[in-house]
Structure 1
Amino acid sequence: MLRLSKMTDYAVVVLTTLAHADSALHTANSLADRTGLPMPTVQKLLKLLARGDLLQSHRGAAGGYSLSRMPDRINVVHIIEAIEGPIALTDCVDGGSGGCGVQSLCSRKNHWEKVNSAVRRALEDVTLADMATPALFDFEREPAPRAVLAG
């Protein structure tokens, strides 16, 4: 199963909160309060996101954190890589650990590179602005509940 860590999910929560902040600075405390995440988790995320160049840290009495760029300039790949490192579906693709014991004998590497690139492109197409926009009910997929008329 391909699954992102909880920390990456929490990073999206923190970043979407900041995306709605209209360039206001937020402290770790205010972000923990607004998101409901534990303070140590928020502090760790802020450090990782700042190191990943997604946040700016502003020091001083009126300091805090803000997005380093507009939400439409941050994509999901940026977020994942700031928290988890390079996207690599297998060990043999670019960004993988290269720990495969049969890599020299395997003819699948090029195919996995193609899959890894497709996943990466799909994630690059989704921005923080997209993630911060409330999802609308998709009438194509899910039938609307039927009204029951009292008779």
Structure 2
Amino acid sequence: MLRLSKLTDYGTVIMTHMAREPARVYSAAEVAGAVGVSVATASKILKALARKELLQSLRGAHGGYLLARPPAEISIAQVIDALEGPLGVTECSVGAGQCMQEGSCAVRGNWQRINQVIHRTLSNLTLEDMAQPGFQPVVDDSGIRSGSEAYR
């Protein structure tokens, strides 16, 4: 089963929450309360996202965090990458030299294709899309269409 870590799951929830009012500055405590995680967890996630320049960190009495770019310019793939590292269904789909079976593996190319489809889909899904209530991907015979227009 493919599964993201809890921190990455919470990270997407936090970023989606912030995308609903992208010009606002949010404190860690405020975000924690809004999404139902501890302040320590929210702080850890916010700091990691700020290190990867998806959030801006502001110091001072009115400090906190805000999105570094408009929600339409931040993809779910970027959020996952910031919290988990490069997206890979299998180790060999991330890069060469990760598996001893690589040279003789009959399915490596297929896993790489699957990884590319998943990455492309997550790259085309933005925080703006996620912030829309009840959006659903549009699927046709060729798979999920690319671009935000594919989500309603």
* TM-score, length basis structure 1: 0.83
What's the counterpart of residue 128 of structure 2? Answer: 129
Would the aligned equivalents of 1:86 and 1:95 in 2 still touch at CA under 8 Å? no
* TM-score, length basis structure 2: 0.82
Change (3 A) 1:136 1:67: closer
What's the counterpart of residue 104 of structure 2? Answer: 105
**1:89-135 alpha-carbon deviations (Å, 9 max, x no partner):** 11112347x44221122233222211111111111121111111110
What's the counterpart of residue 113 of structure 2? Answer: 114
RMSD in angstroms over aligned alpha carbons? 1.9
Which runs of structure 1 show a deviation greater than 3 angstroms over 4 or more consecutive aligned residues? none
Q: How does 1:2-151 map to 2 (within 5 A)?
A: 2-95=2-95, 98-135=97-134
Would the aligned equivalents of 2:22 and 2:70 in 1 still touch at CA under 8 Å? no
Q: Distance in 2 between matches of 1:81 and 1:135?
A: 24
Change (3 A) 1:54 1:37: same
Change (3 A) 1:16 1:110: same
Percent pairwise identity = 42
Unaligned runs of 5+ in 2: 137-152
**Number of residues paired by the alignment?**
137
Identify, as 1 or 2, the structure richer in helix: 2
Q: Which protein has the larger Cα radius of gyration, Structure 1 or Structure 2? A: 1
Change (3 A) 1:49 1:92: same
Unaligned runs of 5+ in 1: 138-151
